[in-house]
Every structure is written in C-alpha cells, then in structure tokens.
C-alpha cells in the first residue's frame, strides 16, 4: 500500500514566504492520516505584514493560522498531537503560554518550546504542528 500526499492551503492563513506548502496531509493507510503544518509566523493573511511586535499577539495570530489550516484539512487544532513554538523572546514565555493555553481545553497536545536567535521577517514567534485527521 502506497502513501498519498495532499498539499493543503487556505487564504485564512498567510501565504508561504518560501518554497513550501502551508501543510501536507499524509494518508498513511489503514485510516491513519496526519497533517504536517509548516511553521506559521504572525503575518496578517490579508496584508502579509506582521500583526504586532507583541509576542502574545504574535502567538495568537500563529495559532489562528494553524487553526484555519487544520479546518481546511477537515480537522481542528484540538486534534493536534504536537506543536513546536520557536521564539526569539524566551523571557515572554509566560505571555506566550497564556495565549497558547486559551486555544486548548482539556488535554493539550505535546509541545516543545525552543529559543532561537532569529525568525523570518523579524517575527518573535513561529509555531508548527502535527495533527491527527479523522476520515
């Protein structure tokens, strides 16, 4: 049995700023499907500009973009298995975490948070996700 690969795109998330897809849906066979969401930086989907200089507002925009991508693939951000947060401002971890927690009730997904020196376009936050997708 071969694997099927479908790219996912929505205008409700920013267009890719490089040679990559917003997400790729992999049909692994036997009913298993995984959505691999590219890292989202806090760009306004309409303007392509950073939404704010504030790490908390940037986190919200990243998660809204991921939510829109999940919905385009027939899933929800609540179906996420793992997210990775990259930030240039680890000192803002509490604010980032507060916004992040508001998106997940009950059992949140696994997560890693990584401090980095820089992110594309001067963003302070980038978030990617792996999501389970039901048939």
Give strand ranges (E) for the chain.
4-8, 23-29, 32-40, 80-87, 110-115, 125-132
Tell me the domains of the chain and their CATH numbers.
4-132 (3.30.1330.40)
CA dihedral 90, 92, 93, 98 (to 10 degrees): -160
Between the alpha carbon of residue 52 and those of residues 14, 42, 55, 108, 118, the distances in Å are 15, 8, 8, 26, 16
Band (pLDDT 50/70/90 cuts) for residue 1 is very low
Query: Cα–Cα distance between 2 and 71 in angstroms, integer?
Result: 25
pLDDT of residue 72: 97
Per residue in 56-89, pLDDT tens? 999 999 999 999 999 999 999 999 999 999 999 9
Confidence of residue 37 (pLDDT cuts 50, 70, 90): very high
| pLDDT above 80 for 2 | no
The average pLDDT across 97-112 equals 95
Residue 3 has pLDDT above 70, yes or no: no
């Amino acid at each position: 049995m071969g694997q099927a690969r479908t790219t996912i795109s929505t205008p409700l998330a920013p267009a890719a700023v490089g040679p990559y897809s917003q997400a790729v849906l992999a049909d692994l066979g036997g009913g298993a499907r995984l959505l691999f969401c590219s890292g989202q930086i806090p760009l306004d989907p309409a303007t392509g500009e950073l939404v704010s200089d504030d790490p908390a507002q940037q986190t919200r925009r990243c998660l809204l973009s991921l939510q829109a991508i999940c919905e385009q693939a027939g899933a929800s951000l609540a179906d996420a298995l793992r997210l990775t947060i990259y930030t240039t401002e680890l000192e803002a971890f509490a604010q980032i975490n507060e916004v992040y927690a508001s998106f997940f009730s009950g059992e949140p997904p696994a997560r890693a948070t990584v401090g980095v020196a820089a992110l594309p376009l001067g963003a302070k936050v980038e978030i990617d996700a792996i999501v389970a997708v039901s048939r």
